[in-house]
Amino acid sequence: MSESMAGLKRTHYCAEINESLLDQQVVIMGWVQHRRDHGGLVFIDLRDRTGLVQTVFNPQEDPATHEKSHDVRAEYVLALVGRVRRRPDDMVNPKLPTGGVEVFIKELRVLNEAQTPPFIVEDHADVNEMVRLRHRYLDLRRPSVLQNFVLRHKAAKITRDYFSDNGFLEVETPVLTKSTPEGARDYLVPSRLNHGCFYALPQSPQLFKQLLMMGGMDRYCQIVKCFRDEDLRADRQPEFTQVDLEMSFVSQEDVMEMLEGYISELFAKTLDRELVRPFPRLSYDEAMSRYGVDKPDLRYGLEIVDIGHIFQNSRAQVFVDALDKGGCVRAIRAPGAGGFSRKQLDDLVGFAIWLGAKGLAWLRVQADGFQGPLAKFLSDEEKSRLLAELQAEVGDVLFFGADSPDMVAHVLGQIRLKLAEDLSLVRPDAYALTWVTDFPMFEYDVLTKRFEAKHHPFTSPREEDLQYLESDPGRVKAQAYDLVLNGSEIGGGSIRIHNSDLQARVFAALGLSQEQIREKFGFFVDALKYGAPPHGGCAFGLDRIVMILAGAGSLRDVIAFPKTQKAACPLTEAPSDVAERQLLELGLTLDKSLES
């Protein structure tokens, strides 16, 4: 039977009960973590958002309350009134902030009862993730899960304070907006008042924040929900949160300096870690060449080295063939991998083939020379140059890729990640940040036979590359920059196009007709003609940043009510059917033939 809180007001949170309150009466409220009956005394650990405190029910002090405590079970919601006392020396729990005290209870009110939960609400409980998400309200009570959201709150507050202190205005942009189907799929929302027309949920406030700059806002920042209807991974969700910002009258250096200050403050105030500034920088071409990816993890070495010049006249035909076709030969030195079994090496070869490679050549470095299938094809000079250029030592293994530059980068980039895992090179408490800059402005899509924007079509080309916009778009580099942390892109941005003539040239390079431009971006193109200032900005993935700060394995761990990899909510069972009447109001009918 539930009781009322009438006449009671909480005086302290559980974790606030300490020796400064000895002999004082307190009122605490929360959930039952454990109940222990030690013959005469009954102990109840009460839990709230802040932590645990031990409470004691003594039959000699208050027989009625003591008797009532026998009916209490795990997850009951209680209000307790009692006096703080010091624990006996042999009962002090140094693992708890409240472990030196306990509360002797004189009044107990059961504010709500609870059924037996489907899993124990404790950090050490081994629970299937789907069960956790189906009962997320229980999972959120677990201290480790709760702490992720304490951290997230702190990160959001630091974000707002930092940008406010630097002159940014927080402005809300629309959630119902126009569909501009470039890139990921939009989530569409049918309009009841305009049959046959649809809103789109924003993939990003990109156009609106640029319009705010055109409106003279000068500096804008917003913690904003965005939506993308795309396939999901551990670090993707259909709805996600961005730290979105834009600045007027700035260069790329100005924006990057501002963002380094933000990330440094975030680390200092959440993890008490001082970051070294300025952050390292890599061009896109350098990142792809040295690490095989445009978001390299720099917590360890394993750099990819171009060694094609060693094999110009080699007997290693696989290398010569690749070079003759305009390809490349590159290698990774894996220190200490000499202890790998033949099965481990074969597994890496199989992994490379699965990635699309024709194979993966390797050599062990031993005291008496090289050992491996490739060794017999190499001359003494080639072996000597390999050792020198890769700085190889006894006990290392060298892995080789020979193919087109894109394929070699793709394969060796993934082999690098696998080697770091197999060799235990990744320190979970290490943080490596780097900027990646000078991205290609365009990517050629062989299916559509046209160029597409690498970032988005509002990114400004580098001034020195404007001459190639019409003649050689693939050669144009963008004033774009991504911030990478531990191999994850946590933010990306660019200097924007603020000139209507240049924007028209970029649209033309993308193969957009005047009709398409007008239909998709007419309002934006018009705005550019009325004095748009030079501007640039960035968007950070707040979910991803908090995931890394928390040391979590998935975005789902830092989102209160996340979706699964099928974009479904186990708790609410969304998405779900709707009544036919609702569809008719929207002028919609369902095509049953499309149902799987």
Q: Residue 88: its pLDDT value, please?
A: 92
Alpha helices in 35-191 (DSSP H): 63-69, 129-134, 136-139, 143-165
The CATH superfamily of 194-281+434-565 is Bira Bifunctional Protein; Domain 2 (3.30.930.10)
Residue 469 pLDDT more than 80? yes
Counts of helices then strands in the chain (DSSP H, E): 15, 22
**Pair 220, 168: CB distance under 8 Å:** yes
SS3 per residue for 405-427? HHHHHHHHHHHHHHHHHHCCCCC
Averaged pLDDT for residues 577-595: 86
Q: Which of 545, 423, 412, 419 is nearest to 485 (CA)?
A: 545
* 3-state helix/strand/coil string of 26-59: EEEEEEEEEEEEECCEEEEEEEECCEEEEEEECC
DSSP reduced 3-state for 566: coil
Distances 172 to 227, 238, 262, 411 between C-alpha atoms, Å: 16, 20, 21, 43
Distances (CA, A) of 579 to 187, 193, 216, 585, 589: 20, 18, 45, 10, 11
Distance CA 231, CA 229 (A): 7
Beta-strand pair 219-227/361-366: unpaired
- Segments of 278-432 assigned E as strands: 281-283, 304-306, 328-334, 361-366, 369-371, 397-403
pLDDT digits (tens, 9 = 90+) for 394-408: 999 999 999 999 999
Is the pLDDT at 313 greater than 90? The verdict is: no
Integer Cα distance of 240 and 184 in angstroms: 14
Q: Residue 595: pLDDT band by 50, 70, 90 thresholds? A: low
The tens digit of pLDDT for each residue in 185-213 reads 899 999 999 988 999 999 999 999 999 99
Distances from the Cα of 22 to the Cα of 76, 82, 98, 101, 103, angstroms? 26, 11, 12, 8, 9
Q: Decide whether 14-112 matches 300-426 in CATH topology.
A: no
Q: Once rounded to an integer, what is the mean pLDDT over residues 486-490?
A: 95
Residue 182 pLDDT > 70: no
Query: What's the rounded Cα separation, in Å, for the pair 168 and 160?
Result: 9
Strand partners, 588: none
Which of 253-267, 447-461, 526-540 has the weakest average pLDDT?
447-461
Q: Which two tokens stand for residue 56?
A: 């004691």
Which H or E run includes 254? helix 252-270
**CA diameter of the chain:** 95
**Cβ neighbours for 152, distance < 8 A, ≥ 6 positions apart:** 542, 546, 558
Q: Sketch the domain layout of the chain as residue ranges.
A: 14-112, 194-281+434-565, 300-426
Q: Is 522 buried (19+), middle (13-18) or exposed (0-12) by CB count in 10 A?
A: exposed
Residue range 161-176, pLDDT digits in tens: 999 999 999 999 999 9
Nearest to 490, CA basis, from 259, 239, 175, 276: 259
DSSP H/E element including 107: strand 101-112
Which of 216, 230, 233, 118 is CA-nearest to residue 184? 230
pLDDT in tens, 567-582: 999 999 999 999 999 9
User: Would you say 15 and 146 are in contact if contact means Cβ atoms under 8 Å apart?
Assistant: no
Residue 221's SS3 state is strand
On the 0-12 / 13-18 / 19+ scale of CB atoms within 10 A, 277 is exposed
Q: Across the chain, what does the average pLDDT equal?
A: 93
The SS3 of residue 586 is coil
Tell me the two tokens of residue 192.
């009841």
- pLDDT grade for 236, boundaries at 50, 70 and 90: confident
User: Which of the listed CATH numbers 3.40.50.620, 3.30.1360.30, 3.30.530.20, 3.40.50.800 matches domain 300-426?
Assistant: 3.30.1360.30
Closest to 250 measured CA to CA, from 439, 463, 495, 464: 495
Q: Is the peptide bond before 405 cis (omega within 30 degrees of 0)?
A: no
Helix, strand, coil shares, percent, the chain, to 5: 35, 25, 40
For residues 299 and 426, the answer to whether their CB atoms sit within 8 Å is yes
Exposed (0-12), middle (13-18) or buried (19+): which is 221, by Cβ within 10 Å? Answer: buried
CATH class entry, domain 14-112: mainly beta
pLDDT band at 184; cut points 50, 70, 90: confident
Question: Model confidence at 596, in pLDDT bands (50, 70, 90)?
Answer: low
Give the 3-state secondary structure of residue 468: helix
Q: What count of other Cβ atoms lies within 10 Å of the Cβ of residue 121?
A: 22
Dist CA 274 CA 48 (whole Å): 32
Q: φ and ψ at 42, to 5 degrees?
A: -115, 130
Q: What is the pLDDT of residue 592?
A: 77
Of 42-56, 341-355, 445-459, give the lowest mean pLDDT range: 445-459
> Distance between CA 454 and CA 236 in Å, rounded?
19
Tokens linked to 400:
């080789």
Q: What whole-number percentage of the chain has pLDDT above 70?
A: 98
Q: Is the pTM of this model over 0.85?
A: yes
Checking if the pLDDT of 449 tops 90, the result is no
pLDDT band at 233 (very low <50, low <70, confident <90, very high): low
